[in-house]
Structure formats: C-alpha cells, structure tokens
Amino acid sequence: MIGRSLHDGRILSPDDCRALLRRVHALAEGGGDTAIRVSSWWHGELRWARNQIRTLSDRRDVRLTVIRTVRNGRDGAVTTNQLDDASLEAAVRAAERQSRMGAKIGRGVGFYPQFPHYEPFPNAAIWSDATFEAAALARAEVARRMIAHAEAQGMLSAGYLEVRAAMTATLGTEFPELRTGEHAFWEQPYVRWTQAQGSMTVRNAAGTGSGWAGLSSYDWRRIESASGALAERAVQKCVASQDPVALEPGRYTVILEPQAVADLMEPLIQSFNREPPEMGLTSPWRLAYDEALGLWRTKLGMKVVDERITISHDPADPDQGIVMHPLDLPEPVTWIERGVLKNLGHDWATEVEKLKGWHAVRGADAYRMSGGDTSLDEMIRTTRRGLLVTRFSNVAVLDGESLLSTGLTRDGLWLIENGQITKAVKNFRFTESPLFVLNHIEQLGEPVPVFRPTKREGDRLRPAIVPPVKARDFSFTSVIDAI
Amino acid sequence: MRYRFVLALAVLWAGPAAGQTLFEWPDTAVDVSKYTTIEECWAAVGRVRRRIAEEKEWTDANRGMWRDTMPDLVQGTAVEPLPERVRETARACLSRFADPEAVPIDAYWILVPLYLHAGWDDRAWALVERRMAAVSDDDPEALAAAADTMIDILRGSPKGGHHALAVQPPRYDLVDELLARYADRISDRVLRFRAYSRSLSWATYPPGDSVEAKRERDRATRVLALFDSLADHEIDRLVQQSQSMLTEIEAYRAQFGALMELSYGGREALLDSLRSSTSAYVKLTKQFEKRLPPVLGQLYAEATGGFAIGSRAPAIEADIWIGCEQDPCEPRPRPGRISLVVFASPGECVGVIAGPGEMYLDRCAVMLIRLRRLKQRFPELDITTVSRSLGFWGYLKEGITPEREAELTWRWLNSFGVEAALAMVRTDYWRLPDPDARRIDTESANDRNYTFGKGGRVQSGAAFLIDEDGIVVRVDDLTALIEVEAEFTELIAVLFERKGARAGK
C-alpha cells in the first residue's frame, strides 16, 4: 500500500501538494488573484535493441505554474520546476511583474452568484501500487525473459517497457466569496494515475520477417503476467511472416486483428466531437445547414455503421479507468449504439447553453467497441480468399468528411485461401475509411484490451478494448517494401 | 587554471538564491545608440510605442480610470500626437538616416512614417517626392501603386498593419498634397479613382466646419464626382479588378450621405426638427434616406433605425417584472414618459462563463455603463430592460428557473448601477429530437413586435428611444464602439426640452 512511499519524491503526494500550494499562495504580494497548476510525473523506462538492454532509467519532474493577476493587471504566468523557497518566490515575483505589464480591467466587477458545486469523480481503476513500485531491476527481469524468447529462436528483438505515475492539481484564490468548496468548478482536485506499457518487435536475422506484440494498462502486473505470451506472439508472427510474396493491390476481404482495428479506428475515435459539425466545420458527423432553423444539422440519431457496432465507455469499468475532471459527466457514455450515432463529446459550455445537462461529455479518450463471438480461427476458416492483418502504422486522414485514411500494414500480413493461411504477403499501403469498414463487416470477435500507449510523461490514460473484425472489400492501393 | 578554480568557488558561494537569474526581468530599455540599421530603428520605435500603451493601460487602471469614466471616444487615441518618448526614440535612432536623399529608396515605406514620428515632416515629404519621382508617368499601374502605398502610409494604415509604422495622427493634409501633385499624373481614370477613393478616412469624422471635416467632405465629393464620370466600361473594369469594389463605392456613398447629414447642417436640422415634433424629425430622416440611391438608403436606414422610427412602440410583454417604480409595471413604455427600451440579456451578452478569465468588463458592461450614465444625466428617463429566459445564467444551470434568471439578471444590472425596470419573458422553446437535443428558442412577442415586421430576434444591446407619445425616435446598438451615447444624449435632451416647453405652455 502506498503510504510514505509517495514521499520518496516520485510524484507529489496529496499532502505534499497541498503544502506546496499553500506555500506558493503565501508568497503572493500586492493583492489580486493567484492560481496554481501543479503536476508531477515519474517515468521508469527500459528499452532494448538487438536483444540487448540499451536504456534503463528512472526520471521524474515537477511543473508548477503560478498565474498571478494583480488588481486590474493581466494574467502573468510563470512555470518552474524548482521548489525551494527562493525559486518559488522568484517565480511569483516574475508572474506579478508580467501581470503589471498589461491590463484586464474590471475583473469580477458586478454581481455574480455563487459558483456551482461539482463533486470530484472517484476515478476508479487508474492507480496501481504495483506500477508505482515497479523497480528497475524488476522491469529488467521481465525484459530479459522476453528477449530470451527471441534469442531461443535465433531472432533479434527490440522493444520497450515503461511504467509511469503522474499527478495533477489546480487551485486558485479567485473570488473566495463565490466559492462553495475548496475548488472552484473549473479547477482540478488532486488526482494521480499510473500507466504501464510494453511493446516488442522481433525480426529474423535475414531481415525478411517481422512480428510484433504489445499491451498497455494502468497496472504493471498485467504487462508482467502477459510478457511471456507477448514475446511468444511476436516471435511466432516473425517466423510466420518470413519471405513474403508480393500480391496485386486491390480490394480484399480482411481479417483485422484487434490491434489493427484499433489503429484503423483512431481517426474515427478522435472525431467524436460535437462542436465542429455544429459549427459547420469538416467532420464526418456534419450533415447539412438547416436554413429554417439557421443551424448546422448533424448525423446524431442516424445509422452510420453496421448495427452490430456499439462504441462506448464506462469510467467505472476496471479496464477503462480514465482521469476525470469534476465537470465531466460521471456516467457511461455511448457514442455509437447499434450502429446509430447517439452522442458526441462536447465541452461544458455547450452543454450548459444548448443541451439538457450541466456536465461536459467526453469524447472517446477511452472506449470499448462491441464485438461478437466469432473466433479468429473461425474467421480464417470461413474465408475463401483474404488477408490477415496484424496492425497498421502511419495512419493519416486524407479527408475529414469521409475519414478516408491511408497507412501501412506492418509486422505480419498473410494470405488466406480456402480457409487456410497459405503464405506471408509483402506489406501494403491501404486507402480506406474506417466508416467504410464498419459498414462492410462480416464477422466480429471478442473485444480485448489493445496497445494504446501514452506518448509523453504525464499524459492521461486512454485504454481501448476492441474486437477483431472481418470485413469485405478493404482497399489496398500499393505494395511497399518495408517488412 | 587558478582563475578557473576561483570562478568555480565564486559560483558555489553564490548560493541558490543568487542562482535564480532565470527570473531576473530582462533589461527592456531601448539603447538606440547600438542600432545601425533602419529595421532596428523600426523595432525600437515599435517597442517604445507598445510599452507606452501598456503602461498607460496599467496606470489608468491603477487610478481606477475604467472605461465607464473615460470619454466615449474610441477613435480618440488614434488622432492624438505620438508621445514624446516615441518621437525622441525616432529622432535619436534616425540620426544615421537623416538625409532623405541618401537613404536607400527601397526603405521609404519604413522611413516616411519614422520621419513623421520624429517630427521631420519636411524630410518625410522629400522622401515621398523622391519615391514618386522614381516612377515613370508612362507606367500608370506603377504610379497608382506607389500613390496607393503612400496614401496608406500617410493616413496611418501601413500595409501589413505594422503598428510601429502607423502615422499618428493621420496626415490627411499630406494625403491631399500628394493627390494634388500626383493624381493627375495617373492617366488611367480607373486607377486614379482608386487612389482618390483610398484617401477617404473611413474613420469617425468630426462634424461641423472643422478643417478636417471640410477636407473629408472635399475628398468624398471628389471621389463621388470621379465615380459618376466613369464610363460603363470603366466601371466594368473596376468590378473585374475587385469583387468588392462596387460595394465599396456604395459604402462611399453611404459615407457621403452621413456626411451630408453631419456636415451640411443636417445634424442641427434633424435636432431642430425633433424640437418641433417627432413627425417632423421622422420626415426629415426619411428625406435623407430618399436622397440616397436605394441600396444606400437601406444602409442609412439600418444605421438610424429607419425600419422602426416613426412607428408606435409596442407594449413590452413580460412574465416577470422587477424593479418598477409603480405597481403594476405595465404598460411599458409608459404613456407620457420619455422612454428607453433596451434589450439586455446577460446570457446572450456574456454567454456561458467557463472560468475567471471571462469575468471582466467587456462590451456588455459598456452597454450597462452607458445606461447608467444616461439615467444619471436624465433621471426622468424611463428605462426598461427587456430580457428573456435562456435556461442558464453565467455558470449556473441546475435549478435555474425563469424567476431565478430574472432575479439574477436584476441583481447583475443593479451591480452596474443600472436603475431600470426589468421585463423577463419566459421563453418558449423546443428541442431537436434526441439525441441532438439542442434547445431552439422561439421568438418572443417582444422580438416580433420590436423588429417591426422584419422578423428574427432583437439583439442584446438594441436600444429604442421613444418619445412621450410612444413614437420610436431612434434605434441603435448600445454595445457598439461608436458614439451611440452622444447621439442618444443629444436626442434625449431635445425630447426633455420639448416636453418641458410643452408643459410650460
């Protein structure tokens, strides 16, 4: 259990954070308002290449931004990672100097009622003691076991294992008479989370085959326990993908493994925002301008994909935990329900002004896509001619309206003929829309957690649970040489 | 080696506090003696101008001189001479480039404004002449382009919008001189027209018989005369050159129409007519409107509230009344009272407040401050603010009812010193079917009545001045950054003067 161990400095504990905020607030001079945003992160990293560990590090940092608004001055913001008294005082003074350089006249003048009170969401399943306490040697031991799999087969492997912890909090002093609790509604109470992620690529010595496996979760134990299976999977894929043959580009029936589905769906997932289509901006969900009402209609309520598809998120799901702001809707959100567009993420102001509730609705930062009960083997067995895709890379949107995208197959592509995998195939560039794929589904498998890593230290969690999909008429447009 | 050791020791002894040079404020003082290029002088002048502007804002704010206590003249700062510090900086830095005959001619667009900043008008003009002389009369396109650029510089609107090069105050005297000297050299009449048309200020112009007003009037007359002299094929060329050209010409005419009103004694004539009667005022306004071509007449009517003036002001409808002097509140506007009906809804004006950065004085507050000052000047003025329920207030949504919105709006108005009755309409609305669910507000009776058949919604800030007989005299936007308050003040004063005179009879 985490107790004093937070005080070892990996990230700021709630008590340390509160004490720090108090210290900074006390340094303000000359009246006015002070707002402070503090975040800290710890990042344990291990990277290997050619079966040798090259980097094993633990890094951490803290960012404290103090925003001072002296009376009638503008906002002056200074960020520091030095928390000694002299540095903090210097930061506050610098912010005050900035504030005096401009004017934002009449702030808070006039009557305003008390701020509304929003309860913080309890943020289920985003913190793992195991992740936070994963020592460098433990990570090295897992990596060693994964490398051993590749070495035993005479393969070369590269990969990484990362464990992270982060916290953030904001606290201001603006309008104390209007506050109904410690935090105003726009502030983030203290929240902390962990993230673990692992990725392994295996190549044969001749460089003619490549396999990959990866997983991400808030809990290091899941990576640790799955490490053997991940390594075995990457090795198997590498062995099976050696010496690929070139096929003609064209439309193929495809069996997309869950990771390939997640990679392909990313542009779709990122598009679940309400404001752009309602403002008439490019979006797959913009329908047409309604002259009578003087507004842009959207596709909300319309069937947009196969009725077997539901894309939703439950923040209380232990596999779907995310960091929530008090303004966020503390309930499950379903964006696509049985193929019908049911919801789009939007900010708090949109909800308050135009809609029924008083919470922001999140976009699909984290999501679960519904599936079916067809196994991957069954999908292959029932395919007369098609391709099995491990994953996609470099996916880029070509057209924001149709979500037509392009990208590459990577780390294993196989031809299926008459219900059997017959040969490895050279990688293709695809030019296809995820919406098209979701309208040409033949079979769906069981959804599983996929690799959806966070990029930078302190990034928030974005877990995804996605099924394998068999779809027809998927468009491959050219052969590429990369393995 | 020994020195290195001493240096290291010195750094160690300096301690953590002394090591905080990261937050030492950089020296922003301009040392113009170091500058050796024209561009550096340009940057130096820009920095000083920017710094002075920020200091002024800060100083004014510290004195409590907020906008509500400042003159209602938004163009005021642009016509003031530049501060002496800017002039000094320009003079000191330009000492290396003081000879207009020796400086690179390509830099004229920087040096002409900087010379004017320095107060070296003769040098600026010498450089203007040098630049214009460098263009051949045989190339009317180049000549027109040079004249256009120079006119933009002299009237304080340099190409690229470089703030540091904006001549302040605009030098229309030099613009007129330039046109007098060079416009006839532009043999192409279309291009000449464009040069002349560029010389109009477009800014708020001083009324009456001031030198500036006469100059503006002369320029407007020349522009319109030149346009009227263009043949059809020349107008076609104008349209081909710029899609917006015809619109601009129309705007010139609108400007000219306003000039007629303001400069040829029209303003005084209008006020005199109002002293006589509202119907005489309305008749004269309509005459101004009719003297303009149809499109311009429409523009003029929009600007003066022509769609409504002369009409009987409909009674304000409300579900909730607050702040009335008498009970019942209705009818409003009250018969026999000079009234101002203002559509003022914080939800439409401020919108949703999502954080502390949005809680400061803005154009909504400008409207309220104007209302307060009008009431202070004319305590007998009957002000009615008209609002409608929106389903939220600032940052509140849960538990908000029309009654609560009315109460909060009333307190909000009061906090700005606005003493007025509030009429709140419970807005009928419907929602797009789920899952869209957007709220669609229907027009209120007040919207229908106060658009006088135009339809649509009355914008927040729209103010209707109504005489004691219930006739609309003027409509304008109280949030607009023009001299609305001055115009209303003039008209209200005349209405009270007239009412007093009637009572005395």
pLDDT tens for residues A361-384? 999 989 999 999 999 999 999 999
- Give the pLDDT mean for A158-163: 97
A251 lies in a domain? yes
Q: Which residue has the tokens 């329908």?
A: A287
- Give the pLDDT mean for B353-363: 81
A25 lies in a domain? yes
Interchain CB contact of B28 with A (< 8 Å): no
Q: Are residues A248 and A198 in the same domain?
A: no
Q: Which residues of B touch A278 (CB under 8 A)?
A: 438
* Inter-chain CB proximity A352 and B416 less than 8 Å: no
Cα(B229)–Cα(B190) distance, integer angstroms:
10
Q: Closest Cα of chain B to A80: distance in Å?
A: 10
- pLDDT tens profile A174-208: 999 999 888 999 999 999 999 999 999 999 999 99
- pLDDT tens profile A315-337: 999 999 999 999 999 999 999 99
Q: Closest Cα of chain A to B44: distance in Å?
A: 18
Cα(A46)–Cα(A56) distance, integer angstroms:
4
Picking from A172, A203, A234, the residue at the C-terminal end of a domain is A203
More confident residue, B25 or B447: B447
Of A86, A300, A356, the CB nearest to B17: A86
- Coil, strand or helix: which one is A248? coil
Of B66, B67, B438, the CB nearest to A354: B438
Q: Which residues of B touch A109 (CB under 8 A)?
A: 66, 360-361, 365, 415-416
Question: Is the pLDDT score of A284 beyond 50?
Answer: yes
Interchain CB contact of B435 with A (< 8 Å): yes
Cα(B140)–Cα(B134) distance, integer angstroms:
13
Cα(A441)–Cα(A452) distance, integer angstroms:
23
β-pairing verdict for B421-425 and B320-322: antiparallel
Question: Is the pLDDT score of A415 beyond 90?
Answer: yes
More confident residue, A67 or B168: A67
- Coil, strand or helix: which one is A148? helix
A227 lies in a domain? no
A20 lies in a domain? yes
* Inter-chain CB proximity A112 and B61 less than 8 Å: no
Q: Are residues A144 and A259 in the same domain?
A: no
pLDDT score at B454? 79
Q: If pLDDT is split at 50, 70 and 90, which confidence band does B300 have?
A: low
pLDDT score at A257? 97
Of A73, A111, A293, the CB nearest to B414: A111
Query: Which residues 186-215 of chain A have a CB within 8 Å of chain B?
Result: 186
Of B57, B67, B435, the CB nearest to A300: B435
Q: Which residues of B touch A353 (CB under 8 A)?
A: 347, 351-352, 390, 392
Question: Is the pLDDT score of B1 beyond 70?
Answer: no
Q: Phi, psi (5° rounding) for residue B234?
A: -75, -35
- pLDDT tens profile B413-442: 998 889 899 999 999 999 999 999 999 999
ipTM of the complex: 0.91
Residue A394: which domain range?
244-483
State the greatest distance between any 2 C-alpha atoms of chain A, in Å, as a whole number: 79
Cα(B490)–Cα(B481) distance, integer angstroms:
18
pLDDT score at B74? 40
* Inter-chain CB proximity A298 and B436 less than 8 Å: yes
Q: Are residues A22 and A129 in the same domain?
A: yes
- For residues A34 and A130, is the Cβ–Cβ distance under 8 A? no
Which of these ranges, A88-92, A473-477, B40-44, B157-161, has the smallest mean pLDDT? B157-161
Six-digit token string for B36: 């050796």
- For residues B365 and B373, is the Cβ–Cβ distance under 8 A? no
Q: If pLDDT is split at 50, 70 and 90, which confidence band does B15 have?
A: very low
Look at domain B320-504 and name its CATH class. alpha beta
**pLDDT over 90, % of chain B:** 42
- Give the pLDDT mean for A299-307: 98
- Give the pLDDT mean for B326-336: 87
* Inter-chain CB proximity B365 and A75 less than 8 Å: no
Q: Which of A386-395, B329-338, B457-466 has the highest mean pLDDT?
A: A386-395
Intra-chain end-to-end CA distance of chain B, in Å: 104
Name the H helices within A110-210: 129-132, 136-152
A275 lies in a domain? yes
* Inter-chain CB proximity B394 and A33 less than 8 Å: no
Interchain CB contact of B440 with A (< 8 Å): yes
| Strands annotated E in A122-271 | 156-172, 191-203, 210-217, 250-256
Within a 10 A sphere around the Cβ of A196, how many other Cβ atoms? 27
A248 lies in a domain? yes
Cα(B153)–Cα(B158) distance, integer angstroms:
5
Q: Are residues A177 and A267 in the same domain?
A: no
Domains: count for chain A:
2
A406 lies in a domain? yes
Name the amino acid, one letter, at A272: F
> In sequence order, what are the residues at sequence separation of 6 or more whose Cβ sits closer than 8 angstroms to the Cβ of residue A54?
A47, A48
- For residues A299 and A285, is the Cβ–Cβ distance under 8 A? yes
Angle of CA points A346, A347, A351, to nearest 5°: 80
- pLDDT tens profile B245-284: 555 655 655 555 555 555 445 677 888 899 999 999 998 8
Q: Are residues A166 and A267 in the same domain?
A: no
A218 lies in a domain? no
Q: Is the peptide bond before A276 cis (omega within 30 degrees of 0)?
A: no
Nearest CA in chain A to B358: A107
Six-digit token string for A35: 């707002």
Q: Which of B214, B288, B305 is nearest to B254 (CA)?
A: B288
Name the H helices within B209-277: 211-229, 232-241, 245-263, 266-276
Q: Is the peptide bond before B328 cis (omega within 30 degrees of 0)?
A: yes
User: Number of CB pairs < 8 Å for A and B?
Assistant: 137
- Give the pLDDT mean for A470-482: 95
pLDDT score at B98? 92
Q: If pLDDT is split at 50, 70 and 90, which confidence band does B13 have?
A: very low
Nearest CA in chain B to A358: B397
* Inter-chain CB proximity A186 and B355 less than 8 Å: yes
Which of these ranges, A232-246, B224-238, B451-465, has the smallest mean pLDDT? B224-238
- Coil, strand or helix: which one is B301? helix
Mean pLDDT of chain B: 81
The CATH number given to whatever domain includes residue A107 is 3.30.2290.10
Q: Which of B58, B33, B34, B30 is nearest to B46 (CA)?
A: B30
Name the H helices within B94-198: 108-118, 121-133, 140-154, 172-182, 189-198
Query: Which residues 249-288 of chain A have a CB within 8 Å of chain B?
Result: 278
Interchain CB contact of B312 with A (< 8 Å): no
Q: What is the DSSP string of B309-365?
A: TTSBPPPPP-SEEES-SSSS--SSSPTTS-EEEEE--HHHHT----SGGG-S--HHH
Question: Is the pLDDT score of B477 beyond 70?
Answer: yes
pLDDT score at B174? 93
- Give the pLDDT mean for B434-455: 91
- Show me where the domains of chain B are located: 32-187, 200-304, 320-504
Six-digit token string for A225: 């326990």
Query: Which residues 336-395 of chain B have a CB within 8 Å of chain A?
Result: 347, 351-357, 359-361, 365, 368, 390, 392-395
* Inter-chain CB proximity B351 and A353 less than 8 Å: yes
Picking from A152, A178, A203, the residue at the C-terminal end of a domain is A203
Question: Is the pLDDT score of B407 beyond 50?
Answer: yes
Q: Can you name the residues that pair with B266 across neighbouring β-strands?
A: none
Q: Which residues of B touch A336 (CB under 8 A)?
A: none
Q: Is the peptide bond before B435 cis (omega within 30 degrees of 0)?
A: yes
* Inter-chain CB proximity A110 and B412 less than 8 Å: yes
pLDDT score at A420? 97
Q: If pLDDT is split at 50, 70 and 90, which confidence band does B455 have?
A: confident
